[in-house]
Structure 1
Amino acid sequence: MNVATFYPIFLSAAKVTIDSRNIQPNDVFFAFSGENFNAATLAQDAIAKGASAVIVEQEAFENTAENIFYVPSTLKFLQELAAYHRDQLNIPVIALTGSNGKTTTKEIIHAVLSQKYSVQYTKGNLNNHIGVPLTLLSINDTHDMAVVEMGANHQKEIAELCQIAKPDYGYITNFGKAHLEGFGGFEGVIKGKSELYDYLKSASATVLVNQNDLIQMEKTSGYERCISFGGQHADYQFQELTKDKFVGLSFQGNEAYSNLTGSYNFTNLCAAASLGLHFGLSFQEIKTAIESYQPTNMRSQIVEKNGKTLVLDTYNANPSSMAESLKNFSKFKGSKTVILGDMLELGEASQQEHQNILDLALKLRFNEIITVGNLFMEINKSGNAFGSTASLSEYLKNNSIASENILLKGSRGIALESILDFIA
């Protein structure tokens, strides 16, 4: 089976899925196998559930009479199909990556552009070598444009995703100390993320640039196809606003306040607003989108509970985002407790980076500092160090946190949100 031959079957399908539990009638099922599981054994069950076709990578399970097709690699075929489909689309595709804030930025961009257009976008965190193709394959003729998030933890990954998505516009939120182990240090992060710039330049596509980011300015220097914000001579100039705990922006005397906390989210708002203005939205439409967007994805999410304000930022963490979160949280009025989870995938820099964060937290003089995870436990000798969320949960059953404000920040693998039920 080749992509061109299979493409008409895909076009007539309802959707593409890789989850056998969620197969609906007229779906195409890609049978991805794991180390200890052969998904091809589910092919007949998928057809029985109404799947219009199944892709397997074990030739013995092929049954073309029932639209069960063999390919050498389900992953490669998925990616090739997505790239082929992308070539048929005549809509702008916006790609974004970065060390911090890319998912929140993607969500706000979608909210803004959806005020005027039908926009398909990356759902949740489907931003890798499987998620990007699935997003592209979900685009149909009802969509006017698409926003595709690209994640990476090693070099060459963004370059590969660009060859599939072929973006017309691109934005890198920032360059931070994330996935240092896979990228080989901070310089490796810059090189890896900048693969998006490399593609955009080679394709004569458009780059969105934050002129306050020196690395972005350096990497896009001399490139003319840019939309800019942040600088004195930028295409779009915004002023930061704050009200209570929340951040907003003003543009030509008009104001919009978000439901996000932290100055770092001001840049995310600027990126979305810039794209909105570029694509012909009025600031009133942008304001409506910004003010109606509610973060619910454990990223800068405000939760009010029992008279306490909780900042739930537990989807991911690295030294850059952790430091920004701590600095922002220190500005909250009232007593403050921080609950910090380990930062993962930092390689040889791990111990020093955890020490730096603990030192910063001490310098900011929070009322209480609690750490969770073995990496923080090695350096936190205060007595408020817990090896896991389970052990902290047991502690919180009998010990309440007195502070009015509580920040929860840690890597996804720590799952700090699991202690929410134990915070009285």
Structure 2
Amino acid sequence: MHLNEIYKVYLKYPIISTDTRKIEKNSIFLALKGSNFNGNEFADKALELGASYAIIDEAAYKKDERFILVEDVLETLQELAKHHRDQLNIPIIGITGTNGKTTSKELIQAVLKQKYKVFATKGNLNNHIGVPLSLLSINKETEIAVIEMGANHQLEIAFLCSLAKPGYGLITNVGKAHLEGFGSYEGVKKAKAELYAWLSEHKGTLFLQKDNSELVSMASKFEFEETISYGFNPKHDISGELIEDNPFLSLEWAFNKEKAVVESQLTGAYNAENILAAIAIGVYFGLNANEINTGIANYHPENNRSQIIKTKSNTIICDYYNANVSSMEAALKNIDLMETPLRKTLILGDMFELGDESLKEHRLLIEKALLLKDCDCIFVGKDFYKSKNEKAAFYKTTDEAVDALKKEIIKNRLILLKASRGMTFEKILAVIE
């Protein structure tokens, strides 16, 4: 079936399903393939559960006209999303970065929805599958969209930009992450700068954290239709000052000599620049200070991203949705600066995808963590364990750490849980009283 014909089907049934466990009635099921599954095998089941059509790429599974046969389901998804994007006449904001992109995206959505009907990437559906699914979730009611773009290899951001075609964009920061795929820190910068290249080529608007010398250097290689600067220097277009971080952030921010104070439900000084990014975009799109502050104040972090939980005996900073070298260092710096009568405990898990640099980076992080005052350290994971010493507790696996924490109960502590998602630190949270 030709793409235009598939698009007509999509307009009639504009809900895309990829998982038979979450099938929605009158949706289109896409039979995607993975390393351990073949979506074609589930197409019939999807129709039984209420999908109207199933797009497949293996003729053996076609039973009737409800099965739409294409050469490649993934490519069809991407081309369909690209075609749908071309029909949209709304601002699309692209966002990427090593750390903070999901939090920034959610803050931007929280601000903009005070005035507009906003679509933003759900969760972290930010890859070659997630971005097209996100684009196909934008409907005619949407006035602005915020699309998060992630990457772990070169040219991935460039490809995602070719689908989403953002007219506005920002990079939150660059740091040591996915070194296995990028090859080096310079490789990270090169990959993230693909968003700058897109915006430059297509006369887009850049929102630039101008205190970040790496971002400024990267942006200097391109020309943009417009650049809006934000940061902590009063000379920037939107400037801010952190006035409280114990444990939640409060900022005073200024634009055109007007000042306002916003209180957030976020912890971690590193989130101040994410808040300023949302403020800058809110100002640009015509929101007043009260609307902007309302959006930020009402945003409550979830999904274990800088999320504070109070148990019967402890206060816990849950920040284990993801971890890399720069986000770990920021988390250590933040908890070190936090004023609390409680003794502090760090429970840190392995950082994934660091390639040949992994052992060195884990060893350096151990050294930095052990320098913190009034703080006990627990390290979890095979890479941390390779550099174990007598100054802290080390466990090869999360399950081993869980068993130990069941026996040695932690009480009256401020605890930081920080690890890559694959370390499943929710198991540790479950046993902390």
TM-score bracket for this pair, using the shorter chain length? over 0.9
Alpha-carbon shift at residue 243 of structure 1 (Å): 4.6
After TM superposition, the structure 1 = structure 2 runs for residues 168-247 of structure 1, keeping only pairs within 5 Å, are 168-221=167-220, 222-230=223-231, 231-247=233-249
1:367 aligns with 2:375: yes
Whether the aligned pair in 1 keeps the contact of 2:43 and 2:54 (CA below 8 Å) is yes
Alpha-carbon shift at residue 36 of structure 1 (Å): 4.6
Alpha-carbon shift at residue 41 of structure 1 (Å): 2.7
1:46-103 per-residue CA deviation (whole Å, 9 max, x = no partner) reads 223332211101022234x532111111110000000000000011111100000111
Percent pairwise identity: 45
2:88 corresponds in structure 1 to 89
Aligned counterparts of 1:257 and 1:378: Cα–Cα separation in 2: 42
Alpha-carbon shift at residue 106 of structure 1 (Å): 0.6
2:337 corresponds in structure 1 to 331
2:130 corresponds in structure 1 to 131
Whether the aligned pair in 2 keeps the contact of 1:94 and 1:168 (CA below 8 Å) is yes
Aligned AA (1:228):
S
Aligned counterparts of 1:129 and 1:14: Cα–Cα separation in 2: 19
2:302 corresponds in structure 1 to 296
Unaligned runs of 5+ in 1: none
2:9 corresponds in structure 1 to 9
Aligned counterparts of 1:69 and 1:43: Cα–Cα separation in 2: 10
SS at match of 1:238: strand
2:106 corresponds in structure 1 to 107
1:23 aligns with 2:32: no
Aligned counterparts of 1:346 and 1:21: Cα–Cα separation in 2: 33
1:255 aligns with 2:261: yes
Whether the aligned pair in 2 keeps the contact of 1:339 and 1:372 (CA below 8 Å) is yes
Alpha-carbon shift at residue 2 of structure 1 (Å): 2.2
Aligned AA (2:386):
E
Whether the aligned pair in 1 keeps the contact of 2:323 and 2:420 (CA below 8 Å) is yes
SS at match of 1:25: coil
Unaligned runs of 5+ in 2: none
2:427 corresponds in structure 1 to 418
Alpha-carbon shift at residue 17 of structure 1 (Å): 1.2
Alpha-carbon shift at residue 238 of structure 1 (Å): 1.8
Aligned counterparts of 1:159 and 1:116: Cα–Cα separation in 2: 30
Whether the aligned pair in 2 keeps the contact of 1:113 and 1:276 (CA below 8 Å) is yes
Aligned counterparts of 1:150 and 1:258: Cα–Cα separation in 2: 25
SS at match of 1:330: helix
Aligned counterparts of 1:410 and 1:379: Cα–Cα separation in 2: 17
Aligned counterparts of 1:30 and 1:182: Cα–Cα separation in 2: 28
Whether the aligned pair in 1 keeps the contact of 2:17 and 2:24 (CA below 8 Å) is no
Aligned AA (1:280):
G
1:341 aligns with 2:349: yes
Between stretches 130-139 and 329-338, larger displacement belongs to 329-338
Structure 1 44/370 Cα, relative in aligned 2: closer, same or farther at 3 Å?
same
Aligned AA (1:372):
V
Please, what TM-score do these two structures have when normalized by structure 2? 0.95
Instruction: Output the aligned Cα RMSD.
Output: 1.4
Aligned counterparts of 1:232 and 1:209: Cα–Cα separation in 2: 14
Please, what TM-score do these two structures have when normalized by structure 1? 0.97
1:40 corresponds in structure 2 to 40
